[in-house]
Amino acid sequence: MLKQSQLKILSHLEKFNSDLEESWDVPRGLCLPGISEAIGVVRSAVHSPLNELEKAGYVFSRNAHVTNAGSRRRKVVHITYSGRELISKVEIIPGKGRQFGPIPDLGIIYGRDKISNQIFDLLANGKNIILSGLPGIGKTSLARLISELLIVDGWTVRWASCDLDSGSDEIAKMWIGKSAPTNPRAIVSLLSPTKNILVIDEIQAVSKRHISSVHELISHCCEFGIRTLLIVRAPNPLPNLENFQEVRVDGISPSDSLSILSPELSEERALEISESLGGHPLALHLWTPEDKLPEKGQAVQEFVEDNVLVKISSIAKESLDELSISPLPLDIKEISNEEGVIELDESAILRWKSSQFEPYHLIKNVRKAQLDEDQIRDLHSKQMKKWSVIEGERARRMEVYHSLKSSTPSEEWLIENITLVFKSNSTSAAILVEEALTEHESEKLRELAAEIALERGEADVAKKHVDSLASGSMKDLLFSRIHRIQGDSQKASELEKKAIRSLNYSDKVRAQISSLVREFDDHLPGFIDNYSAMEIVDKCKKVDISNLDSIDQGHATLSLELLKHSAALRNNNLELASKCRGIIEQFLGNDSYRLEILDLQSRLSVRSANVQVFEAIEDVKKSIKKIPNSLEKIKLIHLALEACKSEFPDWLIEEHQTNSPTSLSEDKSAHRRLIAQWWYWRGILNPSNKLSHWREAISRFKLAECNNAAKNLIQLLSKSL
């Protein structure tokens, strides 16, 4: 059992996002003085508990630059995934709760004490709340104030802020961390219903493509009894949510407005201004003595147009236009003119989300209403050209968006760039391909849309696209995947065989090998029997690759021999494994690190707990540090875990936690299967969260089209409950 001082340290460190672990600049709260101040002790009192936590694998330290604390690097401390899991199950230290996600800083908020206390009472009594109201009326600030009341009362506040690219996956990462599960039931199983509040801000920003998955997540949270607070401006994309009470946020009272306005104003004048602006907090912040007050009943939008936007310079207006048409908030390096942003910021026009910013929605809406279609199209065209010369998946995401809004890009260009986006962000790719289909109705784009949906586990969405395709092998293959994800393996196999027969020769070979690899992987670690393993070997021998060109024949041979090598080891056929290893060496060369992995795999496969296996496990410890490929590294860790049976060394558990599958590409079937296996092992190594981890593993196995593994794990989970 950890000491209170250690629990306080973990509780403090848990507030910081795991993305900071590799950042050059980190907040002061992660350095030793910041930690000591946060837990209320002198600095010397944190050394001993920190050292003990580091030895136990709950924290790790490194040197980094601390923001606003000089240029010298200093020792900083981060909580590990193991530490996060531990503290998530510990009873909250009385008197102070915790917070997760991009929760805004708490500033001084006027005129909201009464409504914040009312909503606090509703949440404490089991209600779920929707905060609604005009843009800029202060919904987010009110939610932040309510969150502070909850934190002081010992609640855990998990905050998510949405934009166009947000889906249920991204929301879960903000609530839990970058290694969060994606299955809604797995997400809620990881959270306690006791004094836990889930906040989703800007829910109206979620695209139509992903709003159903967010709706499903919210429904599961309510079903599990976790209080939820939603912040939305009209129109509400989820008008029919059950078990929610809507609270409309209006302007603040004239008397409360006095504190926002300049103290140099007379009370009579201040009250007049407040009444004219309807107590709208953003409008009050934007007002200056030179502004003409709107007539009573005149919309705040007109006040912004007539007084705020006319005063900014042409440079600032260019920056405002750039930000207003952007699908996502930008950071300072992505904006065309820094000076314009500085002026906008000084004019209280920007809202910040960490290091990124965007105009307040009220300002954005007013400015866009001033522009005609041709002007907006020209702005998108300029942004498309800007992003086209910038590298990276985010740049491609922005370039495709602006291209679709300004021109008619070719089908080939769209497919190439949306595929690049998909490698890093399937949520964004799904939105873009739907947008592209409104401009281009094509078979290839439909196929891509179906593939993206399938690889996200959205069988119903994929079916809508596949239904529109012309009959042929591709349609059969896609329908085969849909049936497999839905659990109908027999129908899936029939369609796959039919499709393979009609493919050209090289595609047929590729499909046959891919099918065999999936068949071999479709089991839980240690659950494949000897007969099934040798059946895979026999099927490999029947794949005819004789008519492939020399390059493709080499790739096919290597893939088949690697598969036969693994299957032979499963059947303890060391002679065949050795023969396969010799052929593999001819392709890889005798200095390839992958040969070292194959040799370790052979040594780990011995089916008895003897000295050879123990030595191999120790050699895995050395090899992991040298392997550059995340896929191979995680596979080797899994092989070592399987060889250990139930006696797992601490270093191997830590390696599994550290090497999470966040770097793997979900557009690759082998990666999807490995991600499923990672979550299976997470449930073994962390039994207190087994329900959540295995629910995620089951979902991931289905997503990877491994129905047999999913069924076996469902049976194991049922027995363990």
- The full DSSP string for 120-141 is HHHHHTT-EEEEE-STTSSHHH
User: Looking at residue 268, what is its pLDDT?
Assistant: 86
441 lies in the same domain as 562: no
116 and 209 inside one domain: yes
Does the pLDDT at position 18 exceed 60?
yes
The β-bridge relationship of strands 356-359 and 330-331 is antiparallel
In a domain, 605, yes or no: no
Q: Is residue 496 part of a domain?
A: no
- Provide the pLDDT for residue 675: 94
Smallest Cα–Cα separation from 138: which of 150, 146, 129? Answer: 146
The identity of residue 413, as a single letter, is W
| Cα 638–Cα 668–Cα 411 angle in degrees, nearest 5 | 170
Please indicate, yes or no, if residue 454 is contained in any of the structural domains: yes
**Cβ-contact 112, 278 below 8 angstroms:** no
Spatial separation of the C-alpha atoms in residues 621 and 651, rounded to whole Å: 8
Task: Give me the chain's average pLDDT, please.
Answer: 89
pLDDT exceeds cutoff 70 at 92: no
| CA dist., res. 8 & res. 4, Å (int) | 6
Which position has the token pair 């199950």?
89
Q: Are residues 379 and 233 in the same domain?
A: no
CB 379 within 8 A of CB 322: yes
Helix axis angle, 361-370 to 314-324, nearest 10°: 100
Q: Is the pLDDT score of 1 beyond 90?
A: no
321 and 446 both lie in a single domain = yes
160 domain-assigned: yes
pLDDT bucket at 350, cuts 50 / 70 / 90: confident
* Closest to 332 (Cα-Cα) out of 352, 360, 314: 352
Burial (CB < 10 A; 0-12, 13-18, 19+), residue 214, is: buried
Select the more confidently predicted residue: 400 or 606: 400
The reply to whether 290 falls in a domain is: yes
236 shares a domain with 297: no
**658 within some domain:** no
Residue 69 clears pLDDT 50, i.e. is over it: no
Calculate mean pLDDT across residues 6-20: 86
Number of domains composing the chain: 5
pLDDT band at 40 (very low <50, low <70, confident <90, very high): low
Given 539, 568, 591, the domain boundary residue is 591
Question: Distance (Å, rounded) from C-alpha 480 to C-alpha 511?
Answer: 12
Residue 665, classed as helix, strand or coil, is coil
Average confidence (pLDDT) over 359-371 = 92
The set of residues, in sequence order, having a beta carbon less than 8 Å from that of 541 and lying 6+ positions away, is none
Q: Which residue has the tokens 């065949």?
A: 576
In a domain, 67, yes or no: yes
CATH number, domain of 77, equals 1.10.10.10
Q: Are residues 165 and 290 in the same domain?
A: no
Report, as an integer, the average pLDDT of 660-679: 87
Mean pLDDT of all residues in 569-575: 87
Task: Please list, in sequence order, all residues whose beta carbon lies within 8 angstroms of the beta carbon of residue 75, skipping any fewer than 6 positions away.
Answer: 31, 32, 61, 62, 63
pLDDT top residue among 30 and 89: 30
For residues 176 and 221, the answer to whether their CB atoms sit within 8 Å is no
- Judged by average pLDDT, the poorest of 58-62, 176-180, 389-393 is 176-180
Same domain, residue pair 420 and 435: yes
Cβ density class 10-40: b for 16+ within 10 Å, e for less: bbbbbbbbbeebeeeebbbbbbbebbbebbe
Predicted confidence band at 42 (pLDDT cuts at 50, 70, 90)?
Answer: very low
What local confidence, expressed as pLDDT, does residue 116 receive? Answer: 96
Single residue among 291, 311, 331 that ends a domain in this structure: 311
Q: Which of 223-227, 332-336, 542-546, 681-685 has the lowest mean pLDDT?
A: 332-336
For residue 253, what is the DSSP state?
A: P
Q: Residues 95-124: what's their mean pLDDT?
A: 87
The answer on 345 and 406 residing in a single domain is yes
One domain for residues 106 and 236: yes
> What is the pLDDT, as a whole number, of residue 313?
93
Which sign does the torsion angle of CA 285, 286, 291, 294 carry? negative
Question: Looking at residue 24, what is its pLDDT?
Answer: 82
Residues 337 and 315: beta-carbon distance below 8 Å = yes
Residue 217 has pLDDT above 90, yes or no: yes
Range of the domain at 416: 314-491
41 has pLDDT over 60: no
Q: Residue 549 is which amino acid?
A: D
Nearest to 623, CA basis, from 599, 590, 650: 599
Lowest mean pLDDT among 409-418, 469-478, 618-627: 618-627
Please say whether the dihedral angle defined by the alpha carbons of residues 688, 690, 691 and 696, taken in this order, is positive or negative: positive
- C-alpha–C-alpha distance, residues 340 and 319, integer Å: 5
pLDDT of residue 610: 62
Looking at the structure, tell me whether residues 529 and 587 fall in a common domain.
yes
Residues 6+ away with beta carbon under 8 Å from 517: 559, 563, 669, 670
- Do 18 and 150 belong to one domain? no
Asked if residues 9 and 54 have their Cβ atoms less than 8 Å apart, the reply is: no
Query: Shortest CA distance to 630 belongs to which of 678, 582, 595?
Result: 678
The per-residue pLDDT for range 236-255, each reduced to its tens digit, is: 899 888 899 999 999 999 88
For 72, counting Cβ atoms within 10 Å of its Cβ (0-12 exposed, 13-18 middle, 19+ buried), the class is: exposed
Alpha helices in 182-327 (DSSP H): 184-189, 211-223, 254-257, 267-276, 281-286, 300-303, 314-324
Q: Are residues 170 and 76 in the same domain?
A: no
Percent of the chain residues past pLDDT 70, beyond the cut: 95
Domain assignment present for 599: no
Torsion angle, alpha carbons of 233, 235, 236, 237, to 10: -130
222 has a pLDDT exceeding 50: yes
Lowest mean pLDDT among 128-132, 197-201, 217-221, 259-263: 259-263
Least confident of 70-79, 163-172, 448-457, 692-701: 70-79
Domain end position, chosen among 88, 116, 138: 88
Residue-wise pLDDT tens digits, 274-332: 888 888 888 888 877 777 777 665 578 888 888 889 889 999 999 999 999 999 999 88
Count Cβ atoms within 10 A of the Cβ of residue 369 and give its class: 0-12 exposed, 13-18 middle, 19 or more buried: exposed
pLDDT of residue 272: 86
pLDDT at 5: 77
* C-alpha span between 485 and 489 (Å, rounded): 8
Is the pLDDT at 70 greater than 60? The verdict is: no
